[in-house]
């Protein structure tokens, strides 16, 4: 899944404090759910599992719900009820993220996540993590039912989370079968495939979902905001292209991780651009060296990227994307919606990590 999206809004710090407070209450409710007779052992397991997987990220997707809601209302201050509902929806997104990541790490056979061992790598956890993923997903339904049933937009919220989950899981499937180990075939990689994976796997839940939650809280009908959905999905695509670029060209000290897209045979924007531009000789170099852990092979791929001037290609893409997004945002009739979209864009434009 995508790297953390940057939280928007000038009131980020106050939103963050309000947001952190609500987690404990929601967790307590999940541990006291009357639908199941918990044992002490199962309560301890879920308590630890939630803290390990739901916490520990930057919570940017969740906090974006609060900041977007404030902008849509045109206020810096929400009342207690509004704050609680916005934070609760934000946490539902963080729960969704945790569910995706727990299962993602098993599928990718990953070692670490957020600086600690992946949940399934923790002693005594193993494949119980699959069931934990299912529990995380079900908690979202329980939280929504408890706090939003009876609200006029309750069914829309359920539909929204279901649709975004389906899109994300389908994007993950496409990613898995395209980049399947043991079937390394670069001819499968092209811009259309890359775009489709990124859109469905990342953009909907990272960019569209927080704003859609804020719009529903504001009493809006999502059917009237198809253009907003399109802009946010475009923004999410641009964000992932930045991620692919930074994996190769970012400073590991600054971005906090060493990029491994080349070694991992990822369907990265850079390799897709290289394939589009390479002559037969250059394609041969890519086919021979891409997806191999040997540092010499990685160096050959990076040399080829340099030869094809992909840094300049990226900067041109970034400029064009920004200009198009700004034009699309300014064409939107609602000024508050424009502010939400611009705050997202300005947080990610030309980011270095």
Report pLDDT digits (tens) over 225-250.
Answer: 999 999 999 999 999 999 999 999 98
Q: pLDDT of 54-76, one tens digit each?
A: 998 888 899 999 999 999 999 88
Stated pTM of the model: 0.91
What is the pLDDT at residue 35? 94
Tell me: pLDDT of 295 over 80.
Answer: yes
CATH of 14-150, one of 1.10.600.10, 3.40.640.10, 3.40.50.1580, 3.40.50.620: 1.10.600.10
Task: Report the pLDDT value the prediction gives residue 8, as an integer from 0 to 100.
Answer: 42
| 70-101 burial code (b ≥16 CB/10 A, e <16) | bbbbeeeebeeebbbbbbbbbbbbbbbbbbbb
Range scoring the smallest mean pLDDT among 107-111, 115-119, 158-162: 107-111
Specify the CATH architecture of the domain 153-352.
Orthogonal Bundle (1.10)
Confidence of residue 181 (pLDDT cuts 50, 70, 90): low
Looking up tokens 């404030």 gives: 70
Structure tokens at 80: 């207690």
Summary mean pLDDT of the chain: 91
For the chain, give percent helix, strand, coil, nearest 5.
70, 0, 25
Confidence of residue 108 (pLDDT cuts 50, 70, 90): confident
Query: 316: which 2 tokens?
Result: 């041109």
pLDDT at 255: 63
Q: Write out pLDDT tens, residues 308-341.
A: 999 999 999 999 999 999 999 999 999 999 999 9
Helix axis angle, 128-148 to 80-107, nearest 10°:
160
pLDDT score of 5 more than 50: no
| Residue-range domain boundaries for the chain | 14-150, 153-352
Give yes or no on whether 14-150 and 153-352 have one common fold: yes
């Amino acid at each position: 899944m995508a790297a953390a999206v940057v939280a928007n809004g000038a009131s980020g710090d106050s939103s963050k404090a309000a947001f952190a407070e609500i987690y404990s209450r929601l967790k307590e409710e999940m541990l006291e759910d009357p639908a199941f007779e918990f044992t002490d052992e199962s309560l301890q397991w879920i308590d630890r599992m939630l803290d390990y997987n739901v916490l520990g990220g930057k919570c940017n997707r969740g906090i974006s719900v609060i900041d977007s809601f404030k902008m849509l209302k045109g206020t810096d201050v929400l009342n207690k009820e509004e704050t609680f509902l916005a934070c609760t929806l934000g946490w539902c997104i963080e729960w969704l993220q945790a569910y995706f990541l727990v299962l993602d790490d098993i599928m990718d056979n990953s070692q670490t996540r957020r600086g600690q061992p992946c949940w399934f790598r923790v002693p005594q956890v193993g494949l119980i993590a699959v069931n934990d993923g299912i529990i995380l997903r079900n908690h979202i339904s329980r939280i929504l039912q408890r706090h939003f049933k009876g609200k006029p937009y309750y069914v829309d919220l359920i539909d929204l989370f279901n649709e975004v989950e389906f899109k994300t899981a389908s994007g993950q499937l496409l990613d898995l079968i395209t980049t399947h180990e043991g079937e390394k075939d670069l001819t499968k990689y092209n811009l259309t495939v890359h775009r489709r994976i990124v859109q469905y796997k990342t953009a909907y839940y990272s960019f569209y979902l927080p704003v859609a939650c804020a719009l529903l809280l504001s009493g809006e009908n999502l059917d009237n905001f198809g253009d907003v959905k399109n802009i946010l999905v475009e923004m999410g695509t641009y964000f992932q292209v930045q991620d692919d670029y930074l994996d190769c060209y970012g400073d590991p000290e600054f971005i906090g991780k060493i990029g491994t897209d080349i070694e991992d045979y990822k369907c990265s924007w850079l390799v897709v651009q290289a394939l589009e531009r390479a002559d037969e000789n250059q394609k041969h170099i890519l086919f021979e060296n891409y997806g191999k852990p040997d540092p010499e092979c990685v160096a050959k791929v990076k040399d080829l990227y340099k030869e094809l001037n992909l840094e300049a290609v990226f900067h041109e893409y970034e400029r064009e994307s920004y200009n198009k997004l700004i034009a699309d945002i300014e064409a939107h009739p609602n000024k508050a919606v424009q502010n939400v979209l611009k705050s997202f864009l300005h947080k990610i434009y030309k980011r270095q990590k």
